[in-house]
Amino acid sequence: MLVDTIVQKSGIKSTDTILEIGPGTGNLTKKLLEAGKLVIAVEVDPRMVLELQRRFQGTPHSSRLKVIQGDVLKTELPYFDLCVANIPYQISSPLTFKLLNHQPAFRKNKTLGAIFRQKNVLSLLEKNYKTLQALNLSVGNKDAEMGSSRLGNANEVETMEMDDDDDEDGGADDEMDVEDGDAEGETSEFKNKVLAVLKEGNFEEKRSSKLKLEEFLYLLSLFNRAGIHFS
């Protein structure tokens, strides 16, 4: 089943308690409960909450289901071993960020500086960063092609200026950096980029458990501005 696959890949030791975000009418919830899990479901839509309660009330599983009605971004999350979610795209970044910073509930009350130095966190972020860079490059190249075909050969100077702009914006040069850089150099370069964002907002020594929602969102905006995304 899906959860077992996730567990195998992630190396998580225990999956007794599952946080399910956006359970809707509860199709996955049912499977999780049937697999003997304790499910904490966070659902914003009151109609879905009623449906969930109606569906599992009086069944042998009801004692292992807790439903929390509310916006997951504004809800204080309980302890859980594994989180599953099927949620709208718009909230996936802030949610991933919230979950990344939910670590005090498991592991220690680490500073953000310590959390963002962890290899698994850095490698996830770097993967997203490179995907976005590649997408931007391909969109940039398409725009440049369309631009030069619009200008045609009649205005060579304009076309050359446009090429220069591309270089300044990190177009072709960046692509070469990505291809030519050695793996370790790139990783520490990316780590420095992440730490620079934390320093910019004065977040490095702050503890995630003490942050307010506004501070989370501000930090998220700083990361996004630097091209660093969480999903």
Ligand X SMILES: C[S@@+](CC[C@H](N)C(=O)[O-])C[C@H]1O[C@@H](n2cnc3c(N)ncnc32)[C@H](O)[C@@H]1O
- Judged by CB under 6 A, the residue of 22, 33, 219, 220 near ligand X is 22
Q: What's the rounded Cα separation, in Å, for the pair 133 and 125?
A: 12
180 is in an annotated binding site: no
Stretch that binds ligand X, among 15-23, 134-142, 153-161, 190-198 (CB under 6 A): 15-23
Structure token pair of residue 196: 């620079």
Q: What's the rounded Cα separation, in Å, for the pair 58 and 141?
A: 59
86 is in an annotated binding site: yes
Which residues, 23 to 62, sit near ligand X by CB under 6 A?
23-25, 27-28, 42-45, 48
Reduce the DSSP state of residue 44 to 3 states and report it.
coil
Stretch that binds ligand X, among 21-29, 59-67, 137-145, 184-192 (CB under 6 A): 21-29
In the complex with ligand X, the residue whose CB is nearer, 68 or 211, is 68
* Residue 40 and residue 34 in contact, taking contact as beta carbons nearer than 8 Å: no
State which residue has the least CB distance to ligand X. 22
User: Which strands sit side by side in the sheet containing 38-43, from one edge to the other?
Assistant: 65-69, 38-43, 17-21, 82-85
How far are the Cα atoms of 89, 157, 182, 192, 224 from residue 122, in angstroms, in the given order? 22, 43, 16, 10, 15
- Judged by CB under 6 A, the residue of 62, 86, 131, 231 near ligand X is 86
Binding-site residues, in ranges, read: 1, 22, 43, 71, 86
Q: Under the rule (CB under 6 A), what is the footprint of ligand X?
A: 21-25, 27-28, 42-45, 48, 71-73, 86-88, 91
